[in-house]
Structure 1
Amino acid sequence: MTVPPDPRTRAERHRPRPPSPAVIARRRLVVGGGALLGLGALGLGVRELVVDDAPASLTVGSTPSGSSSPSASAQPSASPSPSPSATAAADRREVTAPALTGRLEDYLSGRGGTLGLQLVDLERNQVFRFRAEEGLCYSTIKVLILTTVLRVGQEKGKGLTKRQKDLARRMITRSDNAATEALLADVGRAEVARVAGLVGMTSTRIDEGWWGHWRTVPGDLDTMVSAVLSSDAVLDGGRRATARFLMADVVEEQRWGVFAPEEKDVYVAGKNGWGPMPDGYHLNSTGWVSGEGREYVLGILSTSPRGFRYGRETISAVARLCHDALGEELA
């Protein structure tokens, strides 16, 4: 059978699809605080990303660029969100929050694996920690690598090159490992360690091994997110907006963990990380969340003995418990 020729031109056949309403809404999230500069610096906002399928099997030390369907569907509002608040870490008061501790213990008693977190309530300047022990970084550390690239450019008075813009987009929004390796090669591990010091990540260990197996604690993940989104100490407003835009534009398949409470009036800028190890699958999540009268930063490190989907369900449920508890002032 003869197939009739496609009447469209080659350009028309390969023209990128327009962004979906959900993607457009997330991109509106970054208005204010130099966001337009950040958006323009990346040359983004004109197309929706196509996500690679996750590999059927994974080897130790690998990280898929996509995953199965997310545990929570993101339906952000089309109205703009506030920019992250800058708060003084030195003034934060640690709280025990027995009610939240009890809920977490009750839920996790019926789940396998381990989980630790730190929750910073930016509305009340309070900190809550739960089993916040050290773990592997996996792809959450890509936020620090992005921060390093932006900081080095800032110190040199240069913006991102076209190549770096594309690599940064792939690294954060799709968790692309090859893009991460390229940007890490641009700046070097010594610079990442230096910027980690500027950020205040005192408990993160950066060595000569694979970056996914660097070690950190939930508190350092919170410090990393706070520094890149709301502090002038490391990045200027335009570069912070660049990072915030990317962290808010993560592809749907990777919007779990801190993204779980994302609904009509809840906005999230975050980064997840995951990968298999002999003790089970490791799943981490960190980010800034604002909406429904709440504003907070959350960092979670976890392991799952029953694979990625089981772990994703656990870490998303815990993020939801934390979000709900903040509506009750961490009672």
Structure 2
Amino acid sequence: MNYQKRSQHRQVKTQKRQRHVYQIGIFLILGLLGITFFTTDVIPTPQEFHLRQAWKSSSQTYKGQYSIAIFSEKNGQTYTYTNRPFKHDWVTASTVKVAVLVALLHQEGGALSGYEATLARQMIENSDNDATTTLLKTYLGGYDALNQVYEALGMKYTHTPTSSWGLTTTTPKDQLILLKQIFQDSDYLSTSAQTYSKALMANVEADQNWGISAGSDHYYLKNGWLPDDKGHWYVNSIGYIPSDPGANNGYLIAVYTQNNASLATGENQIENLAKVVPEILQ
């Protein structure tokens, strides 16, 4: 009798393992086929379902890869969607400059010198690469200062190489962690540092305010764009869309794309994804 029970128990465990392996195989096959994934609960809420359908519909003719993450202030939920599942190495390009700003403000306690403030403004508002490099090498001690920020904040999929800050890799969900330090309660940045960061991200130059701003009248953002070695483009946009008065429907958002035929292609894809969000999250 005991032998039979043990045998039956082993059979059940074997069947469970086989089902698990089968499920993993299905996910991998779907991923290779480019099937999009909405990475929240198995059974989506109505709001999740509408976001998924809207993002899927807006991407039908898009040939590149993309990943989007949103944190809703209204319900505290995070929503993510991608057509490249299991990918954890999206190239940041200039969106990493927000991390540089956070690192600098944390180090200086929110009080920047006159020249530091000038460099920070140029870095965020004008996306000045030289200003970014100067801040990292002269004031932060090198590129590894960014990795220390990621470790402190729990951004486990984000890494800056010693060769180039623009080739930092990340995930949209990791970027939400960073954005929360500016737009949510934070032990990492002071209130004055948060206010300063918001002022810069609300004042990017006019030709750089595309992206997650689509469909919204007010926004804080930083974009990034970089050609790859095959003639395609990495195009990204991260930031915050504030709430309508009295509505508590603001949200953090990060969108990363790659293999775009042109900069404009990436910009259009990000805006197609972003502009459907405000109505659904209202």
The two structures have a TM-score, normalised by structure 1, of 0.66
1:139-150 matches, within 5 Å, as: 139-150=94-105
Aligned mates of 2:144, 2:264 — CA distance in 1: 35
SS at match of 2:212: helix
Q: 1:312 aligns with which of 259, 267, 271?
A: 267
Q: 1:108 aligns with which of 43, 48, 59?
A: 59
Paired AA for residue 234 in structure 2? H
Question: Where in structure 1 do 4 or more consecutive aligned residues deviate above 3 Å?
Answer: none
Change in Cα spacing, 1:164 to 1:281, as seen in structure 2 (3 Å) is same
Bigger RCO of structures 1 and 2 (CA < 8 A, at least 6 apart): 1
Q: Which position in structure 2 is the counterpart of 1:175?
A: 127
Deviation at 1:123, TM superposition (A): 0.9
Aligned mates of 2:243, 2:182 — CA distance in 1: 20
Paired AA for residue 76 in structure 2? N
Deviation at 1:217, TM superposition (A): 0.2
SS at match of 1:259: coil
Aligned mates of 1:269, 1:107 — CA distance in 2: 23
Q: Give 1 or 2: higher helix fraction.
A: 2
1:236 aligns with 2:190: yes
Identity among equivalent pairs (%): 24
Deviation at 1:304, TM superposition (A): 4.7
Q: 2:136 aligns with which of 156, 179, 184?
A: 184
Does structure 1 retain, via aligned residues, the 8 Å contact 2:150–2:159?
A: no
Can you list the C-alpha shifts for 1:145-174, whole angstroms capped at 9, x where unaligned?
A: 0111111111xxx72111111100000011
Aligned mates of 1:190, 1:228 — CA distance in 2: 21
Paired AA for residue 281 in structure 1? W
Can you list the C-alpha shifts for 1:86-114, whole angstroms capped at 9, x where unaligned?
A: xxxxxxxx553122212211221212211
Deviation at 1:297, TM superposition (A): 0.4
The two structures have a TM-score, normalised by structure 2, of 0.77
SS at match of 1:159: coil
Aligned mates of 1:150, 1:110 — CA distance in 2: 41
Aligned mates of 1:149, 1:202 — CA distance in 2: 20
SS at match of 1:105: helix
SS at match of 1:258: coil
How many corresponding residue pairs?
A: 229
Q: 1:159 aligns with which of 111, 135, 146?
A: 111
Paired AA for residue 164 in structure 1? E
The RMSD of aligned alpha carbons is 1.8
Aligned mates of 2:50, 2:213 — CA distance in 1: 23
Paired AA for residue 317 in structure 1? N
Aligned mates of 2:215, 2:162 — CA distance in 1: 36
Unmatched runs of 5 consecutive residues or more in structure 1? 1-93
Aligned mates of 2:51, 2:251 — CA distance in 1: 15
Unmatched runs of 5 consecutive residues or more in structure 2? 1-39
1:284 aligns with 2:236: yes
1:1-331 matches, within 5 Å, as: 94=40, 96=44, 97-131=48-82, 133-134=87-88, 135-154=90-109, 159-185=111-137, 186-187=139-140, 188-263=142-217, 267-277=218-228, 278=230, 280-292=232-244, 293=247, 294-327=249-282
Which has the larger Rg?
2
Does structure 1 retain, via aligned residues, the 8 Å contact 2:243–2:251?
A: no
